[in-house]
Structure 1
Amino acid sequence: MRNLLIPLVLCVTFAGCGAQGPATIPVSGVVTFDGKPLSGAMITFVPQGDTSGRGGLAQTDDEGKFVARTQDGKTIEGIAGLVPGQYKVLVNKLVKPDGTLFVPTEEQAPIDANAREVIPLPYSDFERTTLTAEVNEAVQPLTFELRSRRS
């Protein structure tokens, strides 16, 4: 009996058994490019500083709107969103030579499809991105207004 109690006590003490991770906060928003909704873009939220978790992902719809989810796409405590904290944000959109949207798969990488990035480096490159987001209880829909180099 004692051997059974030890794992149970440890589980309750460290609150790790069955836990899905830290609670998330719903995060949504819109992305525009030169003032127009940006459709088909992938948004990556990369945790910074003390922010826990693995970050999150979202994809914009035809109106440039998105709803962010954790990296694995799961909801935590029934809420789709992100763990509170600071994030570096990347916006990427890959297109094929014919101009159609390219979505990478395990079978085909961007280089294999001759896909190219259409979003400027200040938004699409991890080292150069100027986009950030703070996720907390007061988070409002996020707005990312991207500009081409010509604008």
Structure 2
Amino acid sequence: MPATLRYALGAAALAASVAGCGEGGPPRSPVSGRVTFNGEPIDEGRISLLPIADTGDGTVTAPITGGEYALRGDNAPAVGEYRVEIEGFRKTGRTVRNLASPDRNKAAPPTVDEVTPFVPPQFNLQSTLSIRVTAEPTQKDFDLVARNR
């Protein structure tokens, strides 16, 4: 086999192995944005992207803090279509026993602020929200408005 053909085949094989998935998984892309509920930022919550059909390699979740979220790096979703679930939590003013108690984790405080969910199921368990993640970074804001206010 001529040297130039061997070189070309080797270069093609190298390019094929480098392109695409990186460390063996699907290509990922960062997603970030703001989340509001009835016009107010969700100060504390969680956003989850659940794959639709054969998208990616599973659900990705990120905290919502001060009305903002970011899914980046190893936590970035794979390119594809996702159903979105959004949860928001409010402090009740009470403290409760920390389930990650000091018995199991020496760094955990014995009590934590109690929180209660306030975003209705239409935006989480019964959500019809969706997002399309492309190869380019995605900026997606979610302005949630309750049906019955």
Length-normalised TM-score, structure 1: 0.64
Match of 1:134, as an amino acid? R
CA contact (8 A) 2:30 2:138 kept: no
Counterpart of 2:51 in structure 1 is 47
CA contact (8 A) 1:32 1:145 kept: yes
Output one character per residue of 1:39-85: Cα deviation in whole Å (capped at 9) or x when no partner.
Answer: 111001101112021121111221x111014xxxxx34xxx521011
> Are the structure 2 counterparts of residues 106 and 51 from structure 1 closer, same or farther at C-alpha, using a change threshold of 3 Å?
farther
Deviation at 1:150, TM superposition (A): 3.7
Match status 1:22 vs 2:17: no
How many residue pairs get aligned? The number is 119
Which of the residues 64, 74, 81 maps onto 2:76?
81
Matches of 2:132 and 2:76, distance apart in 1: 13
Which structure has the highest strand share of the two?
2
Calculate percent identity across the aligned residue pairs: 26
Deviation at 1:115, TM superposition (A): 4.7
Match of 2:54, as an amino acid? D
Match of 2:41, as an amino acid? P
Which of the residues 94, 98, 103 maps onto 2:89?
94
Match of 1:87, as an amino acid? Y
Match status 1:68 vs 2:68: no
Matches of 2:99 and 2:71, distance apart in 1: 20
Match of 2:69, as an amino acid? F
Counterpart of 2:145 in structure 1 is 147
Q: Gapped runs of 5+ residues in structure 1?
A: 1-11, 70-74, 108-112
Length-normalised TM-score, structure 2: 0.65
> Are the structure 2 counterparts of residues 99 and 89 from structure 1 closer, same or farther at C-alpha, using a change threshold of 3 Å?
farther
Q: Gapped runs of 5+ residues in structure 2?
A: 1-13, 102-112
Larger Rg: 2
> Are the structure 2 counterparts of residues 36 and 116 from structure 1 closer, same or farther at C-alpha, using a change threshold of 3 Å?
closer
Match status 1:35 vs 2:39: yes
SS at match of 2:93: coil
Matches of 2:86 and 2:29, distance apart in 1: 20
